[in-house]
């Protein structure tokens, strides 16, 4: 009886065979590979959605800024300095403001600051050219990158009152091309 116990006990202590070890390693590799693939797909989807949300916020913010500037403008002149108004260049004349946010006059005529939006090298640029008496700050910045289209429509074409601007952006994230469009229509409210 003592002999049977030793035989059974020796079978339990013998360990894994080489085949069992190889099968275990292969199974662990397959499971690890599947988990890593799911993790990487999740990371790519997160990056794409984060970038999509960021781009949508950026284009909406820029379109809102365009609308706000148009509403504050008194006119959309056809030429200012070296800029000429066209479908890809928006020139706005805004009443110059003092420290109390009041309009500045020269006699009975308003004094103007100029804000120009234009497309250059795939970026929407914004240039602010204030009058010397104005408290508006001079600026020449890029307000939106990766712009594939900036198009303004003026109605009527002379003595413009209504402006519609269309912005389109595109960017490739995780081998996916993301495209966004924003349209803003605004009326010159301070038109004299």
Query: Residue 71: its pLDDT value, please?
Result: 95
Q: Is 189 within 8 Å of 71 (Cβ atoms)?
A: yes
Instruction: Tell me the chain's radius of gyration from C-alpha atoms.
Output: 33
Residue 17 C-alpha from the chain's centroid: 59
Mean pLDDT of 7-15: 58
**pLDDT mean across residues, the chain:** 89
Rounded distance, CA 71 to CA 115, Å? 12
Pick the more confident residue, 125 or 157. Answer: 125
Query: Residue 111: its pLDDT value, please?
Result: 95
Mean pLDDT of 119-134: 95
* Residue 119 bridge partners (DSSP): 124
**pTM (whole model) above 0.95:** no
pLDDT in tens, 78-93: 999 999 999 999 999 9
């Amino acid at each position: 009886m003592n002999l049977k116990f030793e035989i059974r006990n020796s079978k339990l202590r013998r360990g894994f065979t080489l085949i069992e070890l190889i099968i275990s390693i292969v199974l662990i590799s397959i499971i690890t590979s599947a988990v890593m693939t799911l993790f990487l797909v999740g990371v790519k989807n997160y990056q794409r959605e984060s970038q999509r949300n960021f781009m949508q916020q950026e284009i909406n913010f820029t379109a809102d800024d365009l609308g706000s500037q148009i509403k504050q403008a008194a006119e959309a002149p056809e030429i200012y300095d070296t800029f000429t108004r066209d479908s890809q260049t928006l020139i706005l004349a805004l009443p110059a403001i003092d420290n109390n946010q009041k309009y500045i006059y020269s006699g009975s005529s308003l004094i103007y600051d100029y804000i120009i939006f234009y497309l250059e090298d795939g970026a929407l640029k914004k240039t602010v050219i204030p009058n010397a008496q104005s408290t508006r700050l001079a600026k020449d910045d890029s307000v939106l990158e990766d712009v594939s289209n900036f198009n303004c429509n003026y109605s009527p074409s002379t003595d413009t009152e209504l402006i519609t601007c269309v912005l389109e952006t595109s960017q490739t994230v995780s081998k996916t091309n993301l495209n966004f469009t924003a349209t803003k229509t605004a009326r010159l409210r301070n038109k004299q």
